[in-house]
Amino acid sequence: MHDFELHAPDSIHEAVEILAEHGGSTRVLAGGTALTTMVKQSLVRPDHIVSLHRVPGWSHVARLGPEINIGMLATHRAIETSPLIREHAPLLADTYAQVATVRIRSMATVGGGIAHGDPAQDPLPTLLALNARVRLLSATGERQVPVGDLFRDFFDTDIGPDELLIEVQVPAQPHDLEGVYLKFLPRSEDDYATVGVAALARVERGRFQEARVALGAVGPVPLRATAVEQALQGRKADAATVRKAAELVGDLVDPVDDARGSADYKRDMAVVFTRRALEQVAGIPR
Amino acid sequence: MTTQPKKARVSTTVNGQPVDVLVAPYQSLLEMLREVLGLTGTKEGCNDGNCGACTVSLDGRIVDSCLVLGAEADGKRVDTIEGMARPEGLHPLQQAFLEEAALQCGICTPGFLVAARALLEREPHPSEERIRLWLAGNLCRCTGYDKIVGAVRKAAALDGAGNGRAAG
Ligand SMILES: Cc1cc2nc3c(=O)[nH]c(=O)nc-3n(C[C@H](O)[C@H](O)[C@H](O)COP(=O)(O)OP(=O)(O)OC[C@H]3O[C@@H](n4cnc5c(N)ncnc54)[C@H](O)[C@@H]3O)c2cc1C
Ligand code: FES
Ligand code: FES
């Protein structure tokens, strides 16, 4: 690894002061599961690294009225095992439990997992489908951004070099809104998804009262499939409706060829797994 | 921009012993253990979080030490393979690995043992499926895994296999 100056601030305010001072040549280090390797491989060459390991707190998981607030430093494993998340946003627990291996999950943070901006990450479609927001703090103030507006390109987000993602706010998942995250893993249990689909639905009297679909690993950014959602809204919750709506995904995605499959294969699998996810949340037998 | 990297002072506890060392900012916890402290039981395989050979316990949670900076261990408790055997003999997991021939070249073994101990501390009697899921991310290119899983099951069948430092 090349040399850099390591800062270990004792508070988020100290952290954003350092970011303000050194700006673009600085990277935040949270769980380190992504950044450490990127620095080792010289994919990024920051002159300064602001490590958050001394910042007390900010790993909270708390319910505030209709929302769940998650501190940036909460680990994936904490979300997987939190009784509060299990109760009020079970889809979130199920999704974080599917990330990598237990060692990665016990290091990787919720904040780092979002700020990294890798469209193949599992939590992103689920956070999109749950309409989550993030709080971004800088030395000059704070703003809130919906997760849906955060991603610009592969590994590129709207988070400024002077900003720290301090909290994620997730509206609780109503008990009658069924959710599932399907991760297609043709190679091994601990791999990244070939495609990932998060779906939520509420079916009343045999019709979709609400449907939400988001996908990961199918393009430069995680994607909310609003066209599919609209095609389901108010329609009969049966196999034919779901099959037709899921096909729309083929035109929305823009996958790349890689070791996990060709672009064409991923496009087909995006349709298949969208259909399966919707069948599951709508209780349609396959 | 030129920077003047200074070494960071790290005060930590390794296998119950207080340790004070200076590490360069870019040194990983794995490098700190192996190169600064001479604890070479923890192995390097991939150096990018994929193989689990470098697994250690950090404040009771297993991590890939190649992905942690040494400086981040400041104020934390590190437990490695070197702390696993007891004065009265091998840890039951180590004994079971020997009896079940769960290793060949052995480079993956310290990582498997540290990870398996963490599982048994949390769940003294895990199912085979739990063992396999927990050990996903510990790669072994020699044994084919069955003997490793068998050894963990054998150790779990003995009472107290998970007894060690408290789980986090
Ligand atoms: C072997 C391996 C397998 C993996 N498999 C999967 C998988 O199956 N599914 C999956 O979803 N992911 C997978 N991942 C990726 C993993 O989820 C990410 O590496 C992790 O979520 C990043 O979180 P972190 O806290 O470690 O971030 P770090 O590595 O600390 O940081 C990542 C990036 O985010 C920035 N950052 C971190 N925190 C903040 C903050 N609070 N504010 C602003 N910027 C910040 C950093 O500067 C850096 O650019 C895998 C990773 C590894 C190493
Ligand atoms: S050396 Fe750390 S996971 Fe392979
Ligand atoms: S015994 Fe050789 S890699 Fe596992």
Atom of ligand 1 nearest to the CA of A164: 42
Compute the distance between CA of residue A61 and CA of residue A110 in angstroms, rounded to an integer: 11
Flag whether pLDDT at B164 surpasses 50.
no
Q: Is residue B164 part of a domain?
A: no
Ligand 3 centre and the CA of B143: distance in Å? Answer: 6
Q: Which of A220, A207, A195 minimizes the C-alpha distance to A275?
A: A195
Asked if A3 lies within 8 A of B55 by C-beta distance, the reply is no
Chain A residues closer than 8 Å to B49 by CB: 33, 37, 103-104
A72 lines ligand 1 (CB under 6 A): yes
Do residue B62 and residue B98 come from a single domain? no
Q: Which of A69, A2, A58 minimizes the C-alpha distance to A30?
A: A58
Flag whether pLDDT at B165 surpasses 70.
no
Flag whether pLDDT at B2 surpasses 60.
no
Q: How many CB atoms within 10 Å of residue B87?
A: 4
Do residue B34 and residue B76 come from a single domain? yes
Q: What is the pLDDT of residues B17-46, one digit of tens each?
A: 999 999 999 999 999 999 999 999 999 999
Residue B5 binned pLDDT confidence (cut-offs 50, 70, 90)? low
Flag whether pLDDT at B49 surpasses 90.
yes
Do residue B66 and residue B97 come from a single domain? no
Do residue B56 and residue B102 come from a single domain? no
What is the pLDDT at residue B4? 45
Flag whether pLDDT at B105 surpasses 80.
yes
- CATH of span A184-282: 3.30.390.50
Q: Could you say which of B83, B109, B144 is where a domain stops? A: B83
Count of CB contacts below 8 A, A vs B?
A: 96
Do residue B153 and residue B101 come from a single domain? yes
The answer to whether the CB of A121 falls within 8 A of the CB of A151 is no
A10-19, B56-65, B110-119, B159-168: least confident range: B159-168
What is the pLDDT at residue A139? 97
Pick the residue of A103, A109, A116 with the most B CBs within 10 A to test the interface with B by mutation: A103
Do residue B13 and residue B75 come from a single domain? yes
Nearest chain A residue to B29 by CA distance is A36
ipTM higher than the 0.90 cut: no
Tell me the domain boundaries of chain A.
5-51, 61-171, 184-282
Tally of domains in chain B: 2
Chain A window 151-180: which residues touch B at a Cβ cutoff of 8 Å? none
Asked if B62 lies within 8 A of A102 by C-beta distance, the reply is yes
Please list the rounded mean pLDDT of every run of 10 residues in chain A (286 residues): 89 97 92 95 94 96 96 98 97 97 96 97 98 98 98 96 97 96 89 96 97 97 98 97 97 94 96 98 91
Do residue B12 and residue B56 come from a single domain? yes
Per CATH, the architecture of A61-171 is what? Answer: 2-Layer Sandwich (3.30)
Q: Is residue B162 part of a domain?
A: no
pLDDT, averaged across chain B: 91
Flag whether pLDDT at B3 surpasses 70.
no
Same fold, A61-171 and A184-282: no
Asked if A103 lies within 8 A of B136 by C-beta distance, the reply is no
Alpha helices in chain A (DSSP H): 12-22, 35-40, 76-81, 83-88, 90-96, 102-107, 110-115, 123-129, 226-232, 239-247, 249-252, 263-282
Of B26, B74, B137, the CB nearest to A190: B137
Asked if B3 lies within 8 A of A1 by C-beta distance, the reply is no
Interface check for A185 against chain B (CB to CB < 8 A): the answer is: no
Q: Which of A84, A127, A120, A83 minimizes the C-alpha distance to A99?
A: A120
What is the pLDDT at residue B166? 38
Do residue B16 and residue B45 come from a single domain? yes
CATH of the domain at B148: 1.10.150.120
CATH topology of domain A5-51: 3.30.43
B107 lines ligand 3 (CB under 6 A): yes
Domain with B61 in it? 8-83
Residue B6 binned pLDDT confidence (cut-offs 50, 70, 90)? confident
The ligand minimizing its distance to the Cα of A12 is 1
A122 lines ligand 1 (CB under 6 A): yes
Buried b (16+ CB within 10 A) or exposed e, A72-106: bbbbbbbbbbbeebeebbebbbbbbbbbbbbbbbb
Do residue B61 and residue B104 come from a single domain? no
pTM score: 0.93
